[in-house]
Amino acid sequence: MSDSIDKNQKQTDDFYFEDGLLVMTEQFHLKRGYCCGNTCKHCPFDHENVLTKQPFQKVR
């Protein structure tokens, strides 16, 4: 069994796919309970652990 996520999988309450990227929802972040520092699109913690305060950018 592969650990990778099937991009054909339907969205859930925790994530969805956008332009080929896995996007975690605000609900997922609230369940986790803290900002991970990765400039997540739906961060409910005001990106408090992000070192540089730049807006979300797609990684190539």
pLDDT band at residue 53 using 50, 70 and 90 as cut-offs: low
pLDDT band at residue 1 using 50, 70 and 90 as cut-offs: very low
**Could you give the percent of the chain with pLDDT greater than 70?**
70
Nearest to 11 by CA among 22, 27, 3: 22
9/15: higher pLDDT: 15
Return the pLDDT at 12: 86
pTM of the model: 0.66
CB contact set of 6 (below 8 Å; sequence gap of 6+): none
Return the pLDDT at 52: 79
| Secondary element (H or E) of residue 31 | helix 26-32
Beta strands in the chain (DSSP E): 15-18, 21-24
